[in-house]
Amino acid sequence: MARAQEIPWKIGDDIDWDCAARNADTNAPEPMTGWSVASQVRDGETGALIASLTVTWTNQANGEYNLKTATSGWPRKKLRWDIQYTDPAGVVASTETKILDMQDDVTEP
């Protein structure tokens, strides 16, 4: 089993990621009209919910959306994160789980 990709992230830095669903075979934009998207971050040890990311469609016909959340107050530890897609028929599929390696910020306001 492959290790989950780790993404280092600073506590207090907002997550504001533009995302796009792509066809696995052609890498072409995947139309997502009628689909829903959800994304959560959970404690890697306990599974406790840390945050549900806000999903905003930017171009649903091309599968483009934005994920956003603040990370102020998050614990300094490894957290699990993924994205879940639900098609119009109710079929659910999730991305691979990624690890957010939450680290202290060096520069403080």
For the domain covering 6-103, report its CATH number.
2.60.40.10
* Sequence spans of domains, the chain: 6-103
Residue-by-residue pLDDT tens, the chain, 109 positions: 568 899 999 999 999 999 999 988 999 999 999 999 999 999 999 999 999 999 999 999 999 999 999 999 999 999 999 999 999 999 999 999 999 999 999 987 7
> pTM to 2 decimals?
0.90
Q: Are 19 and 64 in contact (CB under 8 A)?
A: yes
d(CA 97, CA 109): 32
**Could you tell me which residues come within 8 angstroms of residue 57 by beta carbon, excluding any fewer than 6 positions away?**
32, 64, 65
